[in-house]
Amino acid sequence: MWAHRPPPASEVSGSDAAGRLVRPFALTGGRTRPSRADFTLITTVTAVDPPPERASRPQPEQTRILRRCRRPVAVAELAALLDLPVSVVVIMLCDLLEAGLITAHPPHPVSRTPELDLDLLQKVRDGLGRL
């Protein structure tokens, strides 16, 4: 027979603020807007085409990113494709957004208050049903 799940004791170690591992790039700091918070893993970014005239010439690594987001691509995918940590990609995306070289599209808002969007859920459900 199975082991039984004991009643939850204290918070899972390492899962909360107290013993938090710090991501190295979180400390880069000094930036005002746009901020890292504008980019979640599933925020999609798209290169502005053609780039705005006032834009300065992108750096080589920025060009690499721009090439990857000619079509909309999620931040997590971009990081995986470029083989770079998400935190590094996000810092570069901040610069690109500020320079007007990309647009960012936030994820579909998910709020449980009052309730999740039924229409959205039904669409996802139907899509899975077609798999």
Partner 1 sequence: MAGSDPAVRAAPVAPDTVKILIAGGFGVGKTTMVGSVSEIVPLRTEEPLTAAGLDVDDLTGIEEKAATTVALDFGRITISERLVLYLFGTPGQQRFWFMWNDLAVGALGAVVLIDVRRPEASFAAVDFFERRDIPFVVGVNGFHGQHPYPPDEIRESLALPEHVPVLLCDARERESSRDVLIALLDRLIAEAGAAAR
Q: Which residues bind partner 1 (CB under 8 A)?
A: 1-8, 12-16, 18-24, 40-46, 49, 70-72, 74, 76-77, 79-81, 84-87, 103, 105, 107-110, 112, 114-118, 120-129, 131
Q: What's the min distance (Å) between Cβ of 103 and partner 1?
A: 8
Return the number of the residue (42 or 98) whose C-beta is nearest partner 1: 42
Question: Of the two residues 44 and 62, which places its CB atom closer to partner 1 in the complex?
Answer: 44
From residue 57, alpha-carbon distances to 5, 14, 49, 93, 121 in Å are 58, 43, 14, 15, 43
Radius of gyration of the chain (CA): 20
CB of 127 to partner 1, least distance (A): 3
Nearer to partner 1, 30 or 109 (CB): 109
> Please, which residues have CB within 8 angstroms of residue 124's CB and are 6 or more apart in sequence?
none
Q: How far is the CB of 45 from partner 1 (least distance, A)?
A: 8
Six token digits for residue 8: 């939850």
For the bound state, the minimum distance from the C-beta of residue 88 to partner 1, rounded and expressed in Å, comes to 9
Q: How many CB atoms lie within 10 A of CB 42?
A: 13
Measured over the CA atoms of residue 55, residue 60, residue 61 and residue 64, the dihedral's sign is positive
